Homo-oligomer: A and B are copies of this chain.
């Protein structure tokens, strides 16, 4: 039987606090805290208007090699690691996938995402694709993707390799349990250790921005 590690989840207060700032404020403040570029580039919000904040479950794909990957594996779908990462889902979790930028692999399809949504999953971040978008769009599940494809997850170049390990998602390091802040501007990774300080400085910044917005509207 396959055992994969779970993540440590942040306090509800931390997540709720960060949910009040957007990805733009998060990125700017992280920059001031020394993180040069926390933005996962190249992903598009597939579901405009959604904003989510939550801890990262991580899934790592690696290049497919035929001697290590056997189609027979599919006789027992329970061995498929892209399922196992979802088994850890708790309400508010965001699954982040290192799909190696591959545009010919649909990491999750309708059934997996229905399950994830049912478990309270809050969002999906992939530097690659999902499939079954015709049906998936009706799930109302926030998605940040490079694209969609009709291909299944191991059809061409990649295979799931590890769950809840450090990954590189489109050249940004994501540790399991880091906090994801995602909205229409994109996806920002908040290192869990910096999250409390980010919350403090960003809240101040948000107040200042609100003040400026009012002043601007008043004609200043």
A88: Cβ under 8 A from any B Cβ: no
Q: Report whether B155 and A216 are in contact in the complex, using a CB–CB cutoff of 8 Å.
A: no
Interface, chain A (partner B; CB < 8 A)? 22-24, 26-28, 31, 34-37, 39, 41-42, 44, 51, 62-68, 100, 103-104, 106, 109-111, 114-115, 131-134, 137, 147-152, 155-157, 161, 166, 168, 171-173, 183-186, 188, 191, 193-194, 209, 212-213, 216-217
Count of identical protomers in the assembly: 6
- Compute how far the CA of A157 lies from the CA of B66 in the bound complex, rounded to whole angstroms: 17
CB neighbours of A44 from chain B (8 A): 147
CB neighbours of A24 from chain B (8 A): 106, 109, 131-132, 134, 150-152
Instruction: Using known A-B contacts A166-B62, A172-B63, determine if residue A155 contacts B34 with beta carbons closer than 8 Å.
Output: no
CB neighbours of A134 from chain B (8 A): 22, 24, 51, 183-185
Q: Report whether A27 and B151 are in contact in the complex, using a CB–CB cutoff of 8 Å.
A: yes
Q: Report whether A114 and B37 are in contact in the complex, using a CB–CB cutoff of 8 Å.
A: no
CB neighbours of A34 from chain B (8 A): 66-67
CB distance from A217 to the nearest CB of B (A): 8
CB distance from A170 to the nearest CB of B (A): 9
Q: Report whether B37 and A156 are in contact in the complex, using a CB–CB cutoff of 8 Å.
A: yes
- Compute how far the CA of A65 lies from the CA of B148 in the bound complex, rounded to whole angstroms: 22
